[in-house]
Structures are given as structure tokens and as C-alpha cells.
Amino acid sequence: MGSRLIGYGSYLPEKVMTNQDFEKIMDTSDEWIVQRTGMRQRHFAAENETVVDMASAAAARALENAKLTIDDIDLVIVATTSSELDFPAVGVQVLGRLGATKNMPAFDVSGACTGFIYALHCARAFFTAGMHRRIMLIGAEKMSRFIDWTDRSTAVLFGDGAGALIFEHSTSSYSGIIDTVVMSDGREFEMLHGSMDHHIIMNGPETYKKAVTLIPAAASYIMEHAGITADNVDWIIPHQANLRIIQSGAQRLGFPLEKILVTVDKHANTSGASGVLALSYGLDNGLIKKGQLVLYPAFGSGLTWGAALVRI
Ligand SMILES: CC(C)(COP(=O)(O)OP(=O)(O)OC[C@H]1O[C@@H](n2cnc3c(N)ncnc32)[C@H](O)[C@@H]1OP(=O)(O)O)[C@@H](O)C(=O)NCCC(=O)NCCS
């Protein structure tokens, strides 16, 4: 019992915030940001634009791409940690926005920057159990909500956006979500977390050290588990948190630079939306092609980490 990818879509808010825009409002420079992170710009949602707005826009595009309506879906899972409303789940609100007329399950997963891998993990389990025919996975974040404008070390790192993938049940185990692994370690909670007043608290250098170890570890584990090597993988889409982390992880794994899909320069770190936004970018621009195997390792607050193997 497996799956196949039948649709994708993404949404980026209109407003682009460049490094030069940050230079005007805080003590930072384009040079510092590019050198330390590889980021050049990020999209910020409008003040009244919500996670549900972005998630619904990405979902609508994925449905259009798959030539389906929301009533053709059996389950919606949203990876997010930035919803403005504590409840109900973003997934349920998306059903309302898209005009679903039939009842179906919808829920959110909170895995921070690893959130989309957690969503893929759930979907794989549901397909394996034969419980759902079509599952829509959405990653949607408004990280700009959490920016502490007095903290230059975190303010420049994040962006907003959403992406969605639709998978359909398949009898082949060689397509769609091939394999997933997810992990967490609550002992490292203080390294990176949200504060009571909704700001990002992060020990940057410690987070960096963990990321360059755990991302390749998750990727190695899943390749071994699936019985493949870097040669069998067409694209690696690491969580887009920092270009140096991406390159160091990929090099440790033996991936040549041309197999690494990078969008951190354009989107910055969009947390749970990062990988699905990068995947959509790769598909939109003809980089990723039908039949190719994509490896997506991620790492984030929790600590959480994991990886997914998806055949397009
Ligand atoms: C945040 C990060 C880019 C900082 O880079 P770094 O090389 O570790 O830099 P440091 O934190 O050691 O700071 C170095 C200096 O730059 C300064 N600095 C921090 N942010 C700055 C900014 N936006 N502009 C200019 N200078 C800045 C610091 O104040 C410090 O100055 P000092 O030496 O005078 O004290 C890096 O630690 C990182 O990417 N960490 C991982 C973050 C991450 O991936 N988070 C999400 C995980 S999902």
C-alpha cells in the first residue's frame, strides 16, 4: 500500500522584505546576512493576512493542479506553529474556506521546522493502513508574527508562505511517500522555542551545531532504511534555514552541489512551509521532474528532526 503525488501548489505573500530593507530599520547589513545565512529576501504576509489565508491559497492551487475539488479529498493535515487562532485547527478552517460540502477529518501537526516531515509521516502511515484515498498536506507559516524587532540575530532569519501537496493511494510502494523518519528530544527545548509573548528565543550557535549534525544523521538513516545511497537520489531539499547548514549537511552526505535545491536566498526560513515551498519552486521551474526521487531532511525547535523520501 503506497501513494503517488497528484498535485502541488504554493503561495507567497506579495510583500518582499530585502536585506536592504532590514538595514534601514536595524543595525545589520546585507553583507552579514548573506555571509552568515545565504538569505537575500523573504516574503512577509500583510498585517491582516493569516496562516489560514495562505494555507487556503496554496491548497486551492494544489487542487487546481490536480484537477480536483476539496470534496475529492479524504483528509487534510496542516503543518504549522503560527496560527493566529488557538483553535480550531487550520486544516478545519481551510475546509470551510474552500467550500467543502462533505465531512472529512482535518487536523494540524506542530513540529516546528520539521512539521511537514511529521505530516508526511502521518500520511504514509494512513496510506500504509489503507485508511484514506486522497490526503492533502499543507505547510503554512506566518513567522513574521514572532519577530522580535529588537533582536537582530533572529529578526532577519524568517519568512512567511505556504505550500500544499496532494497524494493519492497507490498499490505501488515505489511512488509518492516512499519512507519517513521523525525524531524529537525534549531535553533540548530551551535552545529554540517560542516565548509567552510570542517571540522567537534561539541560541543561534548551539542550534547551528545541532542542525549540521542532525540533518545529515536523519538523511543517512532514511537512505540506509530505504536501502539506497546518495547516487539514487535526484534532489536533496534540506530544510531551508541557512545556506551554510544546507551545504555542510549535503557535503557530509556526499551530495554534489547541483543536487541541492536552495530557496533560502528567496524565502528565508519559513519553518513548516520551507520544504514544500522549495519543492513547489523546483517543480514550477522545471528543475524537479516526474519520477525523480527527492530527499527532504529537516530540523527544528523541540528539538525535532527527521527526513522523508518522496518520488515525484
Ligand atoms: C543565527 C546565525 C546566523 C548567527 O551566525 P553566527 O555566525 O553563529 O553568529 P553569532 O551568533 O556568533 O554572532 C556573531 C556576531 O554577529 C552579530 N549579529 C547577530 N545578528 C546579526 C545581524 N542580523 N546583523 C549583524 N550582526 C549580527 C552578533 O551580535 C555577534 O556580534 P559580536 O561578535 O560583536 O558579539 C547562526 O548561528 C545560525 O544560523 N544558527 C542556526 C539558526 C537556525 O538555523 N535556526 C532555525 C533552526 S530550524
For residue 276, the CA-to-ligand 1 centroid distance in Å is 26
Q: Is 145 in the same domain as 223?
A: no
Whether 269 is catalytic is yes
Q: Encode the chain (312 residues) as per-residue pLDDT tens digits.
A: 899 999 999 999 999 999 999 999 999 999 999 999 999 999 999 999 999 999 999 999 999 999 999 999 999 999 999 999 999 999 999 999 999 999 999 999 999 999 999 999 999 999 999 999 999 999 999 999 999 999 999 999 999 999 999 999 999 888 999 999 999 999 999 999 999 999 999 999 999 999 999 999 999 999 999 999 999 999 999 999 999 999 999 889 999 999 999 999 999 999 999 999 999 999 999 999 999 999 999 999 999 999 999 999
End-of-domain residue from the set 114, 135, 170: 170
Query: What is the domain-level CATH number for residue 25?
Result: 3.40.47.10
Rounded to whole angstroms, how far apart are CA atoms 299 and 275? 11
pLDDT of residue 173: 82
Domains in the chain, number: 2
The parent domain of residue 301 ranges over: 176-311
Please tell me whether residues 130 and 163 are part of one structural domain. Answer: yes
Domain boundary among 130, 153, 170: 170
Q: 152 alpha carbon to ligand 1 midpoint, in Å?
A: 8
Q: Domain check: are 184 and 166 in the same one?
A: no
Same domain, 163 and 180: no
239 is catalytic: yes
DSSP 162: E
Quote the pLDDT of residue 35: 98
Q: Which residues line ligand 1 (CB under 6 A)?
A: 28, 32-33, 36-37, 113, 152-153, 156, 192, 202, 204-205, 207-208, 211, 241-242, 245, 269, 299-300
Residues 134 and 269 in one domain: no
Q: Phi-psi bin for 132: left (phi > 0), alpha (psi -120 to 50), beta?
A: beta
Domain end among 170, 195, 230: 170
All cell numbers assigned to 210: 545541532
Cα–Cα dist 255/193, whole Å: 31
Same domain? For 138 and 124 the reply is yes
Are 68 and 205 members of one domain?
no
Query: Is the same domain home to 75 and 183?
Result: no
H/E stretch holding 77 = strand 75-79
Q: Are residues 199 and 126 in the same domain?
A: no
> Do residues 262 and 275 lie in contact, with contact meaning Cβ atoms separated by under 8 Å?
no
**CB-based burial of residue 207 (10 Å sphere; 0-12 exposed, 13-18 middle, 19+ buried)?**
buried
Q: Are the beta carbons of 70 and 63 closer than 8 angstroms?
A: yes
Sole residue written with cell 492533502 = 136
Protein residue whose Cα sits closest to atom 7 of ligand 1:
36
| Phi, psi torsion values for 308, nearest 5 degrees | -135, 150
Instruction: Give the separation between CA 267 and CA 43, rounded to whole angstroms.
Output: 6
Q: Are residues 27 and 147 in the same domain?
A: yes
Same domain assignment for residues 72 and 32:
yes
CB of 194 closer than 8 Å to CB of 87: no
303 C-alpha to ligand 1 centroid (Å): 19
Do 75 and 213 lie in one domain? The reply is no
